[in-house]
């Protein structure tokens, strides 16, 4: 089945019933995670930060590793909110556009985490890796962070930017497109400023042994910061190229081809980030999660709870 990036308002259906993650219990018997009051569909940067911080706090209370990426994401979103409210809007040419885009972009990550908490199967491989692996404790903190960042950039970002630009009325002209491009790449400066805090977060709050050891090597911090930033630059440049490609496409089939390439590429990156886990599973004689068509419950060591059996009703004897 084809997946269109232009489906109107994905994930916007909501239920009036309260939803709790009944299978997740906190230390000290804090009870289930409450999900019904989280702002899952933010419309701007401030609402995005509100939604992120609320679910982030609840995940951290339970030592749930799905919090790690959201904590990284909150650092960046907090910086965006601060700059957009400052004089000159932090150098952005279209601050309202960026704020709206930030809200819509955050919705994708929030919904992915929410659906994983509800134990719903996620349609994209990148987000299955980024949620189920941390939840099952199969990955280290730096991998949890990278898996979330990759899924959000390599899968979500291009779809959100394309959907926003392609459906504006009147259509975006060359001048407006140049301003959007400026703001899109200006975000790189925010990312550059946030990387040191993100590394400290992994090493200190999440006690990531790999990050702590790497930072102890003399002169390693600037090298690590530069390497991470270069990776983000490459990823975000490819995303923008995909956006332009979809906007210039001459047919729905051309757009769909780019969508499928994005889905495959983001999934392959997730596989690469968890290659060490796949290697050890192979040594143990288990099949590594290399097939993107596998449902989450078919992955090694990642098991979703079986549905509770329906009680049979025995008719009363007459």
In this predicted model, what pLDDT tens digit does every residue of 131-186 receive, in sequence order? Answer: 988 988 889 999 999 999 999 999 999 999 999 999 999 999 999 999 999 999 99
How deeply is 27 buried, as exposed, middle or buried, from its count of CB atoms within 10 A (0-12, 13-18, 19+)? exposed
Q: If we measure between CA atoms, which residue out of 77, 71, 68, 217 comes closest to residue 143?
A: 68
Is the previous residue joined to 170 through a cis bond, with omega within 30 degrees of 0? Answer: yes
pLDDT of residue 204: 96
CA distances from 212 to 58, 91, 135, 201 (A): 25, 34, 22, 10
Lowest mean pLDDT among 115-119, 162-166, 181-185, 232-236: 115-119
pLDDT of residue 256: 95
Contact partners, residue 166, CB within 8 Å, separation at least 6: 6, 246, 247
* pLDDT at residue 44 is higher than 80: yes
The model carries a pTM of 0.82
CA 50 to CA 74: how far, in whole Å? 9
Listed by start position, the domains of the chain span: 27-275
Over the stretch 9-32, which tens digit does the pLDDT of each residue have? Answer: 333 333 333 332 323 333 445 567
């Amino acid at each position: 089945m084809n997946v269109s990036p232009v489906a109107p308002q994905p994930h916007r259906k909501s239920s009036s019933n309260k939803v709790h993650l009944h299978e997740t219990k906190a230390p000290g018997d804090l009870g289930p995670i409450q999900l019904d009051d989280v702002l899952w569909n933010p419309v701007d940067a401030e609402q995005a930060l509100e939604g992120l911080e609320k679910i982030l706090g609840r995940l951290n209370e339970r030592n749930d590793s799905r919090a790690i990426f959201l904590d990284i994401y909150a650092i960046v979103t907090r910086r965006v909110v601060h700059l957009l409210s400052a004089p000159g809007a932090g150098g952005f040419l279209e601050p309202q556009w960026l704020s709206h885009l930030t809200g819509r972009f955050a919705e994708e990550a929030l919904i992915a985490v929410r659906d994983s908490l509800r134990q719903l199967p996620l349609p994209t491989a990148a987000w299955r890796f980024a949620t189920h692996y941390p939840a099952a404790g199969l990955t280290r903190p730096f991998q949890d962070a990278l898996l979330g960042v990759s899924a959000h950039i390599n899968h979500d970002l291009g779809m959100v930017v394309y959907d926003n630009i392609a459906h504006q009325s009147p259509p975006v002209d060359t001048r407006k497109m140049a301003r959007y491009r400026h703001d899109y790449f200006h975000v790189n400066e925010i990312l550059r400023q946030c990387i040191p805090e993100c590394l400290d977060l992994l090493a200190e709050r999440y006690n990531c042994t790999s990050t702590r050891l790497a930072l102890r090597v003399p002169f390693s911090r600037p090298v690590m910061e530069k390497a991470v930033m270069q990776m983000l630059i490459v990823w975000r440049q490819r995303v923008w190229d995909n956006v332009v490609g979809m906007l210039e496409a001459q047919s729905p089939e051309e757009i769909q081809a780019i969508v499928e390439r994005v889905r495959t590429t983001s999934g392959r990156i997730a596989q690469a980030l968890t290659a060490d886990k796949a290697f050890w599973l192979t040594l143990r004689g288990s099949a590594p999660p290399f097939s993107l068509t596998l449902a989450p419950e078919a992955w090694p060591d990642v098991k979703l709870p079986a549905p509770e059996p329906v009680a049979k009703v025995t008719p009363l004897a007459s």
